[in-house]
Structure formats: C-alpha cells, structure tokens
Structure 1
Amino acid sequence: MLLPACCLFFLTGVFLAGGSSRAEETPPPASLPAASAAILTRYTVYTHWLPVMKLDISFLLEKTRYQVSMQARAEGLLSIFTRLRIQSVASGSISDDVVLPSRYDSQGWSRSAQRHVILDYRQGQPVVTLQEPKETDREPVPDALRQHGTDILTTMAKVILTVRQTGHCDGAYDVFDGIRVSHFTLKTSGQDMQPDVFQDRQVPAMRCDFVGYQIAGFIKGHQAKALREPHGGTVWFINVDGYGPVPVRTEINHPKVGHLTVKLDKLSKDEG
C-alpha cells in the first residue's frame, strides 16, 4: 500500500457485512449481488468536514475467485499540497471458503514520489517482487511478522468472506503493504440509528469498531511511539437490497493523521 495502512484500514470495512452479537438486534438480511456482479462504490474522506480525498472501489467476490481494485486521489485542500493519486488491485482464488491471494499491485504518486509496489504470494506468503523506489530508510520487516500478513485489499476479501459465514465482523488481521506491517482487530459493537444514511430517513446501522497499530517497518532512528500505540475507529453498515450490507460512514482516529470521516457518495453494480 502506498498510503499508510493505518490511514486506510476503514477499507477493510468497505465490504464488511454482518449483524449484532445479539440476534434480536440484527436487521433483516438483504439480498446479495449476483455472483458475476462487481460492486462499485465511491467515498469522500473529510477532515474537519473539509473534503480531502476521493476513493473509488470495485469489489468482486465469487465462489472461486476475488478481485478488489481501488483508486484514491487527493481532493479539495489536500490537492493543493499533493498530487496524490494511487491505483491498486488485488486478486486471487478462493478454495473451501479460504482466501488464497495471488498478486497485489499498487502504483501512483504518494509521499512526494512516483511509487510502484508488487507483492506476489508464494505458498501463501507475500514476497516483494517490485519496489520502486527502494525504501532504504526503513527497518526491514522480519519474515516472522511478514509471513502471515496480506495486503489491505486482500484483507477486505478475507473479512467479507468471514462475515458472510458467521454474520459478524469480529476478527484479527495483519496487513503487509510491502514496507510495514500493521495489526488490526475488529469487533461487532451493536446497532445505531443513523439519520444521514440516505439523508431523508433513519435506518438501522450496524456498528463495527476496529483498533490497529504498526508493528514493523518503522523509519530508522525514529521512536515512532505514537504509531506503536493502538488507534482505531468505527464503521457503520446498512443492508441494501441487491447489494447486501454496505458501509455508509466511518470515523477514524489516528495520532499522526488526526480525525477522519468517510462517507458513501455512490453505490452501483458492474455486471459486465
């Protein structure tokens, strides 16, 4: 990931599905998209209620394969200070309800440079096969911490598959983006009535809290105490017929980035 995984982990929730830990609080299930239909979403990221980023995400999860793609670009005031624009895609197979990643490819302008990272998975473990430019200012990630990690988009596929099976978002994940590893936990935390989901009525929304922290790949010589401490946020989901549960709002708190709000702008399907 060319952006810090901690800043974009709400994407893990981009296609989370699930209900409360108590059956009586779970809203009626919504119909899911056709197996061959990719779900397309667009989100706006806000800080202090000013738009700073747009995210376009396509998610296809079938019985035997998955593919997740994302485009991120600076918006509003942020676009004055950076040309941030990233395209990422992850793909792989699914066997006996287990996600088996194949490749992750992320490229674009980030952190004042044109960057390109490719992860190939060999026997289930991520291997950096391309990194331009080289990240020589960072501590190397130990194999023991890297080997169980997956890229952020593959983690999304893991989460949605788990939630479809169990009806909950609870789980723990290591995210490896080619230069660092972050650990995240998710927990279903009940139901809210969100008045701004459709801007014209209140509907039940499932809450899923997440907490994460970086565990490897720190910049050399930096104590990075804030990054080592837990940080997190909450994502809310509603059931939409033909799509299943969809995240509509995310609140993120991070010691380096600050408070971010992510809101759903557009939802559609690509059946071609």
Structure 2
Amino acid sequence: MAGHPLPAPGSSELRELLARDEARLLYKSLHRRECSTGRLSRAQLDLWHRNAVDGQPPLENLLEDLERVFRLEWRGDPQASESTVALVGWAQRPRTTQTDALDVQPISLRVRAQVLESKRCSQCGRTPDDHGVVLSVERMLPISWGGSANIENLHALCEECAVGRWQYLETFAAHADAIRVAVTYDEPQRRIGELLRTVHPKWIRSDVLGVVASAKEYQEDWQRRLRDLRFLGWDYEVQKTGQEGVRVWSYYRLTKSAPWPANIPQAIKDEEALRKAKRRG
C-alpha cells in the first residue's frame, strides 16, 4: 500500500475498511491529529472514549479495529497516560472488514490525480476553491460488491456527498450478493440480465440496475441496454410506485430468460436487422 493515500474521514473507502461507527470516529480523531503536537496522548484517548462514544465499545477493541488496517505509532507504554500515538500509514497487509479474504485494492497516484483533475464534486458540483470542500476519490461500486480501482469505477466527491452516497448504497444491501455476481460479466446487458435472474422472482428497483449496468464502464443510457435483452430472447415486466417519498420509482422483474450468445453485441445487431427487414417486407 506504499504510496496509496490514507482514506479521508467519512469516505466510502473507510466504511469498507472499518465496520464500526465508533472505530471510524477514532480514525477521524487520529487522522486530523486534534492536538497541538500532532499526536494524541493516552489520556486524551481515554477522554475522547468517554465523551465521544460513552465508553463503548472498549477502547482497546477500537484500537484493534484500526490496527488491522492501519499502522499506529506509539511512544511509550500504550497503557500509560503519558504515552502518545499517531496514525502513520497502512498496516503491512490491510484487510477489509467485509471479509478477511478480500484485499484492499489501492488507487494509484496517477489515477487519483486523473479523477481529481476536474477539481469539482461529481455529485453536487462544489469545488475546493469556491466552496472550501475537500474532495476524495470514491468508488461508485464498493469493493465488497465487486467494485474495482479502475478509473471507470471512480469519481470525485466532497465529504458530505461521500457520506450521503454510502448511506444511499446501503439501501441496496439486500441485493449485495446478487450484485457481486452480476458485475463480474463484461457486457452491460449480461450484468443486468444476470442480476434480474438472480433476484427472480423478486422485483428490483431501477437505480440498482443502473449501478450494475455501469459497474465496468459508465452507461449513459443503461435503459437501452435493458431493452437490448428483448433482442436476445429475454423479457421482463415493469411497475411504478409513488410510495417512496415524492419520487416515482420503476421496479423490474424477469419473466423470461435465454442462453447467452457467444457475441452479445453482434447478436443484438443481427436481431435488430432481422426485425427491421421483416417490417420493411
């Protein structure tokens, strides 16, 4: 992980690394080094623990959470009130809290610079110069759902939008296993189709389909990729609901599936041409 910046407090990357809210609060305190010397003493940590999280979970458990992923440098006996600690980097082999088998995928400095080149939050449009926000590089699709460190899966978000997007993605949690399988496929049509097939006979909301369709490359018109399924022998039904706040959502459910052709784009073109010929005839 050498050269890979530490995640920003409040970022989705940090949420994938530290499961507990309290551990993320401790990370934030250490990341910002909220003391004049740039380090926190054990006494300050104990005070933070009592005031910020009301003493639970135990401080040692939270420190263990951090040390599984990050390197903490202690000066003195960690149990002594006068000892100090600083967050100095990554652990030698950081792991996500989702599963011990899943390695953290570092984002290279070159890719990070490319994502931040616009100097603007891709969600709200605010900039560091005009609005004083801090931008971080975030994954559109989380690591735990199959998201990669490729630039197609990255965007720049301010801290507020990063927190909001993570909370939004958590509403998809019921479909996490199905999403993880679907995003392994190269073609957006197949990603959509396999997601529909995996969750069948349940309905799935349109925004989940959109996220999966864009998992490997952004799909400006993912609904067209959905309609492509009908050229491949698949079909689905759709219903709309206005029961979720003021927004009307579309829900989709698979009604028919078929084997995937060896060349999906070519099969779609051939079927389109065949149907156009029949209409002309």
TM-score interval (norm. to shorter): under 0.3
- Between structures 1 and 2, the one with greater helix share: 2
Normalization by structure 2: what TM-score? Answer: 0.20
Richer in strand (by share): 1
**Max radius of gyration: which structure?**
2
Q: TM-score, normalised by structure 1?
A: 0.21
